């Protein structure tokens, strides 16, 4: 199929230095689809007038209200030098300045994987899919809900590696709570680097951990390669409203200086961290991204960044965030338009749901979110599979359920083939009124690729399904998880590199005492 990247086994990959030379030894037999390139339009919910109002208002917010850069005198100095009006920790950015600074950010970039066949292009009409990020709990059908461990983390990396429609290994696929807080980033990076050959994310919880991420990447790819190429895309959240803390900005500074990519992302529960209306939230999102991206370009002009928008609605009865809702869709569509007008890659969407179980609620909410994200023009979708319970839980079953549904997005994005074969006039002439198409030549020539097919769902006759145990989707998914983890084979890695990575992790772990908060 055309949407599956060629396996690299047995063929020589040229160029790219050490990473490429190692790539041929890391080839694996699992199919991975190429990242999505859309052949369909984006859905544009806002007209030009609405977009101009929001852009004007965002500049008004930056100038009049300003943004806080906390405990970060270096940032304040950069802003002052760039022409902002800095009062205490509050940065007032004159109308137009932030947008002007954003102009040096690339509209698209390549994130390299250690297997070059897994490189991804972020921006343009592309969509790169990465798994769930951040949950402290995991759930599976047999074990229920429990704190996540490093063993769970490794399992999720393996599942991601084997998931055909997932292009990216992600970052904190769950929080390994059995490893000290100040050391777990080392184990997590090591897992992504050794258990998968897909691209991955770096640590952002402290600037020193971001620096460790860069150092380990240099071991994996070679230092020169990392100096010249983007090998990580990491998640920098803004403390909405309008606040940039020194931890996140410190990590951003490390990555920007190293030429590594960052998603600069407001994190908003609507009605709590932003106005309760869609246009108001879009205004704040745009103001925050403008300030964050502009700052990244002050640190290093040309640093690759992504316009992020993580926005949920809220249940005003309980205060719980809600997912897959119409208001979240409005914001996701609108923010995509704003990102394209800024000329930046766009991150939003995900397998969002509030349900406690991988049940119908989870699937309705997730499907709403995934479909919206495709049509909104998202370029990088974090949380594309495995998210459960408002992001508190990484679900094994939902991971494979969502990962299967991501195949839908690939085929939707292909659009409609209008060549002679696509038009099928010969078939209509051959079959005629009252006939059937199953046996006709056109059907025989096209049936293998004509229709997307789930690898998970039940398509059997009722009687067969009933005799086989009347399994629901969660049960089918649990069986698939077991099968995948049983079939897993680690991609090859140069033994010298593997040893150097293990040494780095061991050395850094020994250098300081464990911390659990």
Of residues 97-156, which lie at the interface with its own copies (CB under 8 A)? 145
For residue 7, the minimal CB distance to its own copies (Å) is: 24
CA-angle at 4, arms to 157 and 485, nearest 5°: 30
Tell me which residues in 74-93 interact with its own copies (CB under 8 A).
90
Q: Which is nearer to its own copies, 169 or 355 (CB)?
A: 355
**How remote is the C-alpha of 137 from its chain's centroid?**
19
Q: Which is nearer to its own copies, 77 or 445 (CB)?
A: 445
Q: Which is nearer to its own copies, 441 or 503 (CB)?
A: 441
Q: Which of 4, 223, 276, 502 binds its own copies (CB under 8 A)?
A: 276
> Among 80-88, 105-113, 175-183, 266-274, which window interacts with its own copies (CB under 8 A)?
266-274
**Using CA atoms, how far apart are residues 240 and 242, in angstroms rounded to an integer?**
5
- Is 348 buried (19+), middle (13-18) or exposed (0-12) by CB count in 10 A? buried
Tell me which residues in 21-40 interact with its own copies (CB under 8 A).
40
Query: What would the x/- binding string for its own copies be over residues 213 to 242, using CB under 8 A?
Result: --------------------------x-xx
Total of residues contacting its own copies (CB under 8 A): 128
CB-based contacts of 282, cutoff 8 Å, min separation 6: 54, 331, 334, 335, 338
Q: Residue 283, interface with its own copies (CB under 8 A)?
A: yes
CA within 13 Å, CB half, 404 = 19
Q: Residue 324, interface with its own copies (CB under 8 A)?
A: yes
DSSP letter, residue 115: S
Q: Which is nearer to its own copies, 61 or 258 (CB)?
A: 61
For residue 41, the minimal CB distance to its own copies (Å) is: 7
- Is 104 buried (19+), middle (13-18) or exposed (0-12) by CB count in 10 A? middle
Query: What would the x/- binding string for its own copies be over residues 357 to 396, using CB under 8 A?
Result: xxxxxxxxxxxx--xx--x-------------x--x----
Tell me which residues in 419-458 interact with its own copies (CB under 8 A).
421-425, 427-429, 431-438, 442-443, 446-448, 450-454, 456-458
Q: Which is nearer to its own copies, 158 or 330 (CB)?
A: 330
CB-based contacts of 511, cutoff 8 Å, min separation 6: none
Q: What are phi and psi of 245, to 5 degrees?
A: -85, 165
CB-based contacts of 78, cutoff 8 Å, min separation 6: 295, 298, 299
Helices 396-413 and 473-487 sit at what angle, rounded to 10 degrees? Answer: 90
For residue 1, the minimal CB distance to its own copies (Å) is: 13
**Using CA atoms, how far apart are residues 120 and 111, in angstroms rounded to an integer?**
5
Q: Which is nearer to its own copies, 223 or 425 (CB)?
A: 425
For residue 481, the minimal CB distance to its own copies (Å) is: 14
Q: Given the structure tokens 């995948």, which residue do they identify?
A: 484
For residue 174, the minimal CB distance to its own copies (Å) is: 16
Tell me which residues in 155-174 interact with its own copies (CB under 8 A).
none
Q: Residue 293, interface with its own copies (CB under 8 A)?
A: no
Q: Which of 13, 411, 494, 498 binds its own copies (CB under 8 A)?
A: 411
Nearest CA to 403 out of 198, 141, 163, 157 is that of: 163
């Amino acid at each position: 199929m055309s949407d599956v990247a060629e396996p690299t086994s047995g063929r020589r990959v040229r160029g790219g230095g050490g990473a490429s030379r190692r790539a041929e030894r890391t080839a694996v037999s699992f199919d991975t689809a190429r990242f999505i390139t859309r052949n369909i339009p984006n859905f544009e919910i806002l007209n030009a007038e609405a977009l101009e109002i929001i852009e004007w208002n965002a500049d008004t917010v930056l100038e009049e209200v300003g943004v806080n850069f906390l405990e970060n005198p270096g940032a304040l100095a950069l802003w002052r030098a760039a022409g902002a009006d800095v009062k205490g920790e509050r940065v007032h950015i004159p109308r137009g300045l932030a947008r002007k600074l954003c102009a040096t950010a690339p509209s698209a970039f390549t994130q390299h994987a250690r297997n070059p066949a897994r490189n991804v292009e972020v921006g343009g009409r592309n969509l790169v899919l990465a798994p769930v990020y951040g949950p402290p709990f995991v759930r599976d059908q047999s074990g229920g809900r429990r704190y996540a461990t490093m063993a769970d983390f490794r399992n999720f990396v393996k599942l991601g590696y084997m998931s055909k429609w997932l292009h990216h290994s992600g970052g904190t696929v769950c929080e390994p709570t059995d490893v000290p807080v100040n050391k777990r980033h080392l184990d997590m990076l090591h897992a992504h680097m050794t258990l998968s050959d897909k691209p991955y994310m770096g640590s952002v919880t402290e600037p020193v951990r971001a620096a460790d991420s860069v150092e380990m990447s240099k071991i994996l790819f070679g230092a020169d390669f990392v100096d010249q190429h983007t090998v990580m895309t990491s998640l920098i959240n803004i403390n909405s409203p309008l606040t940039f803390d020194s931890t996140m900005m410190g990590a951003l500074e490390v990555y920007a200086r190293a030429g590594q990519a960052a998603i600069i992302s407001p994190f908003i529960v609507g009605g709590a961290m932003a106005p309760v209306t869609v246009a108001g939230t879009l205004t704040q999102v745009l103001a925050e991204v403008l300030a964050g991206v502009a700052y990244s370009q002050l640190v290093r002009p040309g640093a690759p960044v992504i316009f992020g928008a993580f926005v949920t609605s809220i249940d005003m009865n309980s205060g719980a965030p809600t997912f897959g809702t119409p208001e979240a869709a409005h914001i996701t569509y609108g923010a995509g338009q704003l990102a394209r007008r800024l000329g930046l890659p766009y991150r939003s969407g995900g397998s969002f749901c509030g349900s406690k179980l991988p049940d119908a609620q989870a699937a309705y909410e997730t499907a709403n979110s995934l479909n919206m994200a495709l049509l909104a023009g998202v370029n990088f979708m974090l949380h594309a599979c495995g998210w459960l319970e408002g992001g508190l839980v990484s679900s094994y079953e939902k991971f494979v359920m969502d990962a299967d549904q991501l195949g839908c997005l690939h085929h939707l994005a292909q659009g409609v083939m209008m060549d002679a074969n696509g038009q099928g006039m010969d078939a209509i002439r051959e079959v005629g009124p009252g006939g059937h198409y199953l046996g006709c030549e056109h059907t025989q020539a096209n049936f293998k690729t004509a229709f997307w097919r789930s690898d998970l769902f039940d398509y059997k006759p009722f009687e067969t399904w009933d005799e086989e145990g009347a399994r629901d989707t969660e049960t089918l998914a649990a069986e698939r998880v077991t099968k995948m983890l049983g079939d897993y084979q680690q991609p090859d890695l140069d033994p010298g590199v593997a040893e150097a990575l293990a040494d780095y992790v061991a050395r850094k772990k020994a250098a300081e005492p464990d911390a659990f908060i």
